[in-house]
């Protein structure tokens, strides 16, 4: 006869994916972050500009073509992250979870290695140009790091549940709320796009908007994890 009391201890041992897989994915993401940070430092040294001189951005017809190369680099980076998620995962949601883990570790690692190599950013409140597609994203360094920490945490938790056969389902309402939260976070980053495109340096970050988007996303993700945990804890019917 199965013991209901044994199930919580079993769940505690399988809440995360296999340690070897986590270590391999983490090592890849950290190495990827090192490589990208090193390239940034090398290129900026060759161009004679400081590592932190990310503003202003010149996409005019008379400007150099490096901005457009950067767009291609960002696309290639997303492709690399997506490819690893695809290989590591077993289902669409599992692959998305692993891609989130890779992205989060890479992003945090990127800032860490830049700081090791150059001392930049001097603080997590330093502004950075985060992304360029479809318009420039800008914000203080702590904001993308907060997003990345959430992606790593929830990504690992979802991957762990899926690895042990838990059923994770998002209804239309939950999916819509999750997308809404993500869109709100993105809006907080692109509100200063006009300032960046005209050669200015952003000064104010819409952190209440950012916090609202993060809160919505985390609540939806936590509820989905709770439902998945309960579906596993029910287990097979007991037999005498």
Stretch 87-114: mean pLDDT, rounded? 94
Asked if the model's pLDDT at residue 226 lies above 80, the reply is yes
User: How many residues are present in the chain?
Assistant: 240
Token reading at 147: 């997003």
Cα separation, 187 vs 210, in Å, equals 8
Please check whether residue 51 is in contact with residue 128, taking contact to mean a CB–CB distance below 8 angstroms: no
**Can you give the residue ranges of every domain in the chain?**
11-233
Mean pLDDT of 121-138: 89
User: Looking at the predicted structure, is the pLDDT value of residue 191 above 50?
Assistant: yes
Tokens found for residue 69: 């190369």
How confident is the model over 147-175, as pLDDT tens digits?
999 999 999 999 998 888 777 777 788 88
Angle at 228 between CA 226 and CA 231, to 5 degrees: 110
Least confident of 36-40, 97-101, 216-220, 229-233: 229-233
* CB neighbours of residue 99 within 10 Å: 21
Q: Is the dihedral of CA 103, 153, 113, 86 positive or negative?
A: negative
- Predicted confidence (pLDDT) at residue 84 exceeds the cutoff of 90: yes
pLDDT (0 to 100) of residue 115: 95
Question: Which structure tokens are listed for 131?
Answer: 């992304």
Q: What is the pTM assigned to this prediction?
A: 0.83
Question: pLDDT-based confidence at 69, cuts 50/70/90?
Answer: confident
**What is the arithmetic mean of pLDDT over 191-206?**
87
19-33, 164-178, 191-205: which is most confident: 19-33
Looking at residue 18, its pLDDT comes to 83
pLDDT for residue 96 is more than 70: yes
């Amino acid at each position: 006869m199965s013991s209901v009391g044994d199930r919580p201890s079993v769940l505690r041992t399988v809440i995360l994916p296999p340690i070897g897989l986590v270590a391999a994915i983490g090592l890849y993401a950290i190495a990827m972050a090192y490589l990208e940070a090193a390239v940034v430092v090398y290129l900026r040294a060759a161009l004679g500009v400081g590592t932190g001189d990310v503003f202003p951005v010149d996409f005019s017809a008379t400007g150099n073509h490096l901005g457009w190369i950067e767009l291609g680099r960002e696309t290639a980076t997303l492709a690399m992250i997506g490819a690893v998620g695809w290989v590591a995962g077993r289902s669409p949601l599992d692959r998305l979870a692993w891609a989130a883990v890779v992205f989060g570790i890479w992003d945090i690692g990127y800032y860490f290695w830049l700081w090791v190599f150059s001392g930049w950013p001097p603080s997590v409140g330093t502004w950075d140009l985060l992304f360029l597609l479809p318009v420039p994203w800008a914000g203080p360094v702590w904001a993308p790091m907060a997003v990345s920490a959430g992606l790593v945490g929830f990504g690992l938790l979802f991957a762990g549940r899926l690895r042990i056969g838990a059923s994770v389902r998002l209804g239309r309402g939950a999916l819509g709320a999750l997308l809404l939260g993500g869109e709100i976070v993105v809006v907080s980053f692109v509100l200063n796009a006009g300032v960046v495109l005209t050669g200015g340096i952003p000064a104010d970050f819409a952190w209440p908007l950012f916090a609202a988007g993060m809160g919505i996303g985390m609540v939806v993700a936590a509820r989905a994890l709770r439902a998945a945990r309960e579906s596993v804890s029910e287990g097979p019917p007991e037999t005498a």
